[in-house]
Amino acid sequence: MKDIILTTYPCGEIKRKREQVRSFLLQRSTVIKGVDLAQLSSNDLELMFELYDQVFFEGWIQRNYSGRMQFSISRKMTNSAGKTVCLRNDSSKPDSTVIEVRISQQILSNYGMVEGADMVGGIKTGSRLEALQLIFEHELIHVIEFICFGESSCKQSRFKTMADNLFGHKENYHQLPTNKQIAQQRLGLSPGSAVAFPYQDRKLEGILCSIRKRASVMVSDKNGRYCDKEGQRYSKYLVPLQLLEAPRK
């Protein structure tokens, strides 16, 4: 491979290579049992990284990057599916660089919960594992940019061209369901909606305020810490989405 930045694969070859990575991963992982990813570890991300480097890049990353790679599965990321950060301790020493790829556990576990919301990078995915691959491919372009240029942005045309040439990605973003979309589409709830939820042995009613990992609900409470413009006081409750329901009329 002369120059990874100029490499372009035809569509059929990308598909074949992606399937090859998938079948190697299923063969070699001690944790992953199937494409629904009931279990996934950060070691699997590392294995996937090595497979992509071999299958798509002919070992280019291994030959051209002397720093360290780290992989993690994030419980905090609720909107982004993946994130790549580059920590450079000393720019005069390339081997002190650490590049970390984080994958959102929440977005992966939401896969399949809203019908039709299964596109990543403009490509329809057939399984949770395939969605993870496409998320990972996006992050790999960030990795290559960090190695080649010391900076990376998926908003720039350089990134978009490489993502299209190497992986056939037509878009930057995933359309996998976020908790917010699940609440909106499955429960008909959005911020401002009146909601009820069980709390200890009672049922509380309040106003849905925001949805991240859990829903924040403001419940009227004369001793509450939160106050609105009218001087009404509230307490905030963090409620798992599956416990939210419509209030009794």
Of the candidates 19, 18, 14, 6, the one whose C-alpha atom is nearest the C-alpha of residue 144 is 6
Q: Which is nearer to Zn ion, 83 or 88 (CB)?
A: 83
Q: Which is nearer to Zn ion, 84 or 193 (CB)?
A: 84
State how far the Cα of 72 lies from the Cα of 47, in Å rounded to an integer.
Answer: 12
- Strands 215-220 and 194-199, by their bridges, are unpaired
State how far the Cα of 97 lies from the Cα of 214, in Å rounded to an integer.
Answer: 35
List all residues 6 or more positions away from 122 whose beta carbon is below 8 Å from its beta carbon.
169, 170, 171
Question: Minimum distance from CB of 225 to Zn ion (Å)?
Answer: 37
Q: Which residue is nearest to Zn ion (CB)?
A: 154
153-192 positions binding Zn ion, by CB under 5 A: 154
Q: What angle do CA 243, 38, 138 make, to 5 degrees?
A: 95
Question: Minimum distance from CB of 28 to Zn ion (Å)?
Answer: 27
Q: Which is nearer to Zn ion, 154 or 176 (CB)?
A: 154
Q: Are 149 and 99 in contact (CB under 8 A)?
A: no
Return the SS3 of 169. Answer: coil
Q: What six digits make up the tokens of 78?
A: 């609720």
Q: Which is nearer to Zn ion, 139 or 197 (CB)?
A: 139
Which stretch in 8-16, 57-65, 150-158, 218-226 sits in contact with Zn ion by CB under 5 A? 150-158
Q: Which is nearer to Zn ion, 71 or 197 (CB)?
A: 71
Which stretch in 123-131, 151-159, 215-223, 236-244 sits in contact with Zn ion by CB under 5 A? 151-159
Question: Minimum distance from CB of 163 to Zn ion (Å)?
Answer: 9
Question: Minimum distance from CB of 48 to Zn ion (Å)?
Answer: 17
What amino acid occupies position 175?
A: Q
Question: Minimum distance from CB of 111 to Zn ion (Å)?
Answer: 19
Binding site for Zn ion (CB under 5 A): 154
